[in-house]
Chain A
């Protein structure tokens, strides 16, 4: 059972309080009609699926119900950091800093 820090509640809570919501920082285009089929496919379906650092979204569904972002290692499943929705993708240095 993962332990997840909700950046809104500022608490470490058990995984069962949360729902996963897919990869983070995939912005919905303002005008999807301007997208080609290939671009739209990429938006809909292509995900980075890395072995390692993954930026992803979670919802504190049985808590504050807020969506937030997390950086997690997909090999160890360890959360490196979480941050509020709308915040930019953390830099490598910020992630390293959060590890300590």
Chain B
């Protein structure tokens, strides 16, 4: 039979194009991946929001206000992209991946930072943190004692002047989150709206309070339910180890399919390379945060993606053994295997969808990775592999070459 060169050329062009696209853009794709905190270090904490005062209700809008305030606090220490998500009805999960100094971030997060200036009895609140000029709080020193203090400024200078005028010679205690910081005696009416907060601070503590006041107080009380801190060096170590494991896994799988399935095995390898690339591309386009379980699922996914190839090739081999020609076997084999592959994958989709619904961060990353993998494998291991194999078969290049499919001549029965 005459070899149809056109089909061979198209086949070769397909392969060259696939490899060229992957080769030239892989770096761009991997650079765009977002790594989770378990891979680059960082800190994650889950808080439960409780009312600050009796009668206050935790509503979605209060939670989102809290999230905004937390975001401001985190930004104040220069951490970019904090991930704050509301979970359930009263929970906030804060994820700070790549944070250099998790200790500093943690100190800032949980405190409500409600600042109050009270009357001499300590009962009536005269002024609150929300009356301060935003961003004007700063760490300073008391000019007389050289003690670290926080200087603040009130928005309504006249009101402040009137209040200080009223309490000259008396104390105006300052409370933070219900605890008395200090109880300065008002020496004279203060006209410029400026106040100084002292409280036996160290320089760091004063700076911390200034940051908190600038970011604003939280409308709720947060209690920590769980936390997870990963050291940056250990995160990187995990990343390297899992990538290394991935390379070994892929290497073994490639050797195995080529050794067992011969020519279709080579096509499986090409579809697997496309698969690995497309999944990563989708991760970066969908902005999926890649976690360690996510990478594990990615690697397992490669092993599972071959399944579709294997089911198809075994089916084709069955048809070849029954004595059908290569083109007919390829056609009927890939057709009848499709529904099996489909059925087999639906159950994994069901399991990963359930995992996504019930899971929290780590498990969710795993299920997303698994789901993306299954959908992509339909494209590569089913569609792409069928297109490539059909092209090659139609070219007549494989005419009567059963051994290229790993089928021995003596296994073939007469029709």
Q: Do A and B come from one complex?
A: no
List residues of chain A with CB under 8 Å of any chain B CB: none
List residues of chain B with CB under 8 Å of any chain A CB: none
